Chain A
């Protein structure tokens, strides 16, 4: 209908003018007076009288609260999670990486290594300056030693410091993503709230009982 198209457009923009903003504020969010009162856990009127200075600050829009942007649990972040105790230094990840940015140097743990004993990992470097976070290394890892991380604030000033070493990986908080790790989804593990402390918990199976271990490693031999 000619003639009504333009006014309809004005109505649409005005509707969007009224609807709340979809902006994700990061790293902190501006809260108004009501938000600040809610933060302080009191009703706005009481907040206004008990803390006039803070409420003025909140009113002019200077009060902020830090926000953590909520990602999906499968988010492929750029802080890898690595459990050295689970790693056998098989280098599957290094072979599977499309860019070849994982460097692994391993030595036999002992001269007469037995089955079940792992190689000792000397170097495990991921050059995340070149990483594209495709997750193929995580997919390749048969021992669930390497996981994608969910954190992403890893900007650095020097390119060299983008290489994550074994020590750095070991010291980092273990907040693994559930990317290609269905065990975390089954456990409803929330990487944004919880941390995996024990490397056993990152595995794909239930932890075997002592009897099972004995049967498998002693009786069957």
Chain B
């Protein structure tokens, strides 16, 4: 006999400890079961795309830092590739290697944050989160050596990076790689075999690959469903065709698969960094100012470049009218597009899984709202 119950609407957020920023969900519950979800976002909208129209091409880098603030190096990277394509700039090889190292480090940092917060949402009370953050500190220290800042890097410039890595960077990088590998191992021993994590994440929020493709979901979320789509492999930008790495695929397409894909991708990123360090060669880190002036005036036209960001396909679309600043900039924010399937993932689930699923998408509200 089914008990007749009345659904209750609960407002979660924007100030909720687990919404990864200022995100709001109006959720309709039937007991513990989720009947309906209405995501509300826009609380962190800062108009970055509009602001870019009033900045020169180099100045926009500082805006891209603040979009997805846990992977600013990747934002820099995507934006600079778009500028280079628009202005026809040939980057310096050493600069490219350096920005690949920086990007992969940032990918590890972002995945560490994603994993840590997913486990925090699972209720592990901060322990795995702090283990992940501890290693992220190492990476941020490396960034500080490279560019003097930890989060808002602005490291990349058209054609490369602004400055070569200092001498102390390389030994520190080597140390950090070992530390990160140990932490990934530790996280895996701690949680990948943990029965509570299994029972909480396996088989929850399963999405069919067709739906993911139709909703143009990218990144670890797509790869967790078995679709082999990694832009580093499919459409190699920079020197990603010169490095070898495994494409991490999982077929379960549930929360655990998404978590697992991220953890394994960190290992692959370590491999990529190692190969970059092996292949990097001396030389200037960016073309000289005779070739590329500070004030770029790209020819009239447009360019779209997408890279494999930490959260999915991160694309920058730039339109130039021949002036010193972009006529229009549009960002294909992977977080925002990955968010579109939230309703499909949540409905029918339980309240306990709500934030776990939310965390497994790996959102960053800075990128969603821009």
Contact = CB atoms under 8 A, between A and B. Distances in A.
A136 B190 contact: no
A75 B152 contact: no
Interface string B331-344: 00000000000000
Interface stretch (A29-37, A56-64, A66-74): A66-74
| A contact patch SS | loop
Interface stretch (B2-10, B13-21, B55-63, B238-246): B55-63
B235 interface: no
User: Which of B164, B190, B294 neighbours the largest number of chain A CB atoms within 10 Å of its CB?
Assistant: B190
A13 B186 CA distance: 10
The main secondary structure of chain B at its interface with chain A is: helix
Interface stretch (A3-11, A42-50, A82-90): A3-11
A86 B59 CA distance: 25
A96 interface: yes
A177 interface: yes
Interface stretch (A104-112, A127-135, A158-166, A192-200): A127-135
A22 B137 contact: yes
B189 A12 contact: yes
Contact of B149 (A2, A96, A133, A136): A133
Contacts of B146: 74
A16 B147 CA distance: 31
A136 B62 contact: yes
B144 A71 contact: yes
Contact of A135 (B127, B154, B191, B193): B154
Given A98-B59, A140-B294, A9 B191 contact: yes
A74 B144 contact: yes
Contact of B62 (A8, A22, A73, A132): A132
Contacts of A6: 194-196
A2 B149 CA distance: 44
Nearest to B167: A185
Contacts of B59: 96, 98, 136
A76 interface: yes
Contact of B148 (A9, A12, A75, A182): A75
A20 B356 CA distance: 31
A2 B195 contact: yes
Interface in A125-178: 132-136, 139-140, 148, 177-178
A1 interface: yes
Nearest to A15: B186
A136 B148 contact: no
Interface residues of B, number: 36
B162 A139 contact: yes
Given A16-B131, A22-B134, A185-B166, A74 B148 contact: yes
Interface residues of A, number: 35
B36 interface: no
Contacts of B196: 6
Contact of A177 (B148, B186, B294): B148
Interface in B134-153: 134, 137, 141, 144-149, 152
Nearest to B172: A72
Interface string B168-198: 0000000000000000001001110111111
A189 interface: no
A72 to B, nearest CB: 4
Contacts of B190: 8-9, 12-13
User: Nearest 5 CB-CB pairs, A to B?
Assistant: A5-B193, A98-B59, A76-B148, A74-B148, A12-B190
Given A6-B194, A9-B193, A98-B55, 8 more contacts: A8-B189, A8-B193, A72-B141, A135-B148, A136-B154, A139-B162, A179-B147, A179-B163
Interface of A: 1-6, 8-9, 11-13, 16, 22, 71-76, 96, 98, 132-136, 139-140, 148, 177-180, 182, 185
Interface of B: 55, 58-59, 61-63, 65, 127, 131, 134, 137, 141, 144-149, 152, 154, 162-164, 166-167, 186, 189-191, 193-198, 294
16 contacts: A9-B191, A9-B194, A12-B186, A72-B148, A74-B144, A74-B163, A74-B166, A76-B148, A96-B294, A132-B62, A134-B62, A134-B152, A134-B154, A136-B58, A139-B162, A148-B148
